[in-house]
Amino acid sequence: MDPIAWLSGSLGVPYWAVRAVAAPLVYPGLAAFMVVALFIIWAERKIAARVQMRVGPLYVSRRLGGALQVLADGVRIAFQEIIIPVGVEKWSFVLSPILAFTVVSLAFTMVPGGPGIYGFRSSLSLLATYAIVTLTPILVIVMGWASNNKFSYIGAGREALVSITGEATLLASLLAAAMMYGSMDFVEIVEAQMRSHVPGLVANPVAALLFFIAALLVTDRLPFDLVLGEQEIVQGPYTEYTGLLFALSMALGYAKLYVLMLVFTHVFLAGWAPFTSPLLGSIAVFAKTLLLMLVAVFLRSVYGRMRLDQVASMFWSKLFPLALVAFVVSALIHPIYAP
């Protein structure tokens, strides 16, 4: 049974309106993101602990292996005082993390969570998702500026550099993929892959790799966690934040990672394939996304932080030219996805 149809029937609201609210709020939106964040942060700490000869989170809910530690931390942070330092520009300081997280959540209206599970379907949903995700750096820069702290300020500068550097490659790899499928609609992209039985990862591995690496950069994952840069600039633009505002700014990175990995799932891993039913398809998308996020957070136990100039030169002089190769690959391979 379709819960959306039932809701629209009992409330007397059109089907599309219920869907437009349910997708960003429940799945793949905020409720699902909460589950993902709880699981991924726990898994990140547990994996790192296993690699590093530790146990990781344990004492909160011993039987679940400390799985509720993140929830406990969240509760603690929720009751923590939100300190607003004297020198900050109050309104931009308070509003920018809230706005940034809200902006990222808007992406959930566009990205499907399974077959037929989406807020809106548009022929430009891929581009729109990208545009929404890349709006947040501006707000992070506002955070850094408003904090009135030199570390935050330097962090904001790094965010500017990192976002420009990463997003060029991100967009290039997405456009290469869009060119390959001849579409910018997630649903059409997934259907093209299901029709030809060739996932994008196999058809154009260059674009997939570039997208993954660039996603690591724009979401502040190791080895590119330049904006957080704890050993140099404490917490970067988030240094002065406390309580829920700090939690929001930390969730921002994970939300972006979640959105981008959902995009990766659809564009390169054939989305809900091999299933076509909404339930099984959604589970497939969710599982693939979680797996990708696990790979992204596992890198924490392997790498250190790369230097700023090395990241910039790697992206501009190696990866961005490689994106042009991805375009060539797309141009050669796109007949297999022709309808």
Partner 1 sequence: MTRLLLPGMEGRVLGERGGLRVVELYIGAQHPASGHMRLIVYLDGDMIVRVDPDIGYVHRTVEKLAETREYVRVISLVERMTIIDACNVTLPYVEAVERLLGVEAPPRARYLRTILCEINRVSSHLYGLGLGGIFLNHSTMYMWAFGDREVFVHLASLLTGSRLTHTYPVFGGVRRDLPQSFRDEFEKAKRYMLRRLREYDKVFFNNPVIRGRLEGVGVLPREKAVALGATGPNLRASGVRYDARMTGYAAYRDLGFEPVVGREGDALERVWVRLREIEASLELVERALRELPDGPFIDERYTRAVPPAVRHWLEKGRLKLPGGYVRLKTRPGEALGRGEMGRGEITYYLVSDGGMKPYRLRVVTPSARNVVLFDALARGHTLMDLPAVYGSIDYFPPEADR
The answer to the question of residue 73 lying near partner 1 (CB under 8 A) is no
Cβ nearer to partner 1, comparing 92 with 105: 92
| 77, 330 contact by CB (below 8 A) | no
Determine, following the binding rule CB under 8 A, whether residue 42 of this chain makes contact with partner 1: no
Contact 184, 178 (CB under 8 A): yes
Cβ atoms of 158 and 166 within 8 Å: the answer is no
Query: Which of 1, 10, 12, 53 forms a contact with partner 1 (CB under 8 A)?
Result: 53
Write down the least CB distance from residue 50 to partner 1, Å: 11
Per-residue contact flags (x/-) with partner 1 for residues 178 to 217, judged by CB under 8 A = ----------------------------------------
Select the span of 20-28, 246-254, 302-310, 315-323 touching partner 1 (CB under 8 A): 302-310
- CA–CA distance from 317 to each of 101, 149, 165, 320, 324 (Å)? 32, 33, 11, 6, 12
Q: What is the per-residue binding string for partner 1 in 213-232, x denoting contact by CB under 8 A?
A: ---------xx-xx--xxxx
> Residue from 11, 35, 51, 75 that binds partner 1 (CB under 8 A)?
51
- Among positions 77, 120, 131, 300, the unique one binding partner 1 when judged by CB under 8 A: 300
Span near partner 1 by CB under 8 A; candidates 5-13, 30-38, 52-60, 175-183:
52-60
Structure tokens at 303: 């790498």
Q: Number of residues in contact with partner 1, rule: CB under 8 A?
A: 36
Binding-site member from 277, 303, 317, 339 for partner 1 (CB under 8 A): 303
Cβ proximity of 121 and 113 under 8 Å: no
50 part of the interface to partner 1, by CB under 8 A: no
**Residue 10 lies near partner 1 (rule: CB under 8 A):** no
Taken in order 225, 42, 107, 83, the sign of the CA dihedral is: negative
Amino acid at 61: S
What is the rounded CA–CA span in Å between residue 39 and residue 287? 12
Residue 150 or 195: which CB sits closer to partner 1?
150
Using alpha carbons, select from 110, 288, 321, 105 the residue that is nearest to residue 193: 288
Angle at 190 between CA 186 and CA 195, to 5 degrees: 145
Residue of 180, 194, 165, 188 whose CA lies nearest to 320: 165
Q: Which residues bind partner 1 (CB under 8 A)?
A: 48, 51-54, 87-89, 146, 148-151, 153-154, 222-223, 225-226, 229-234, 300-310
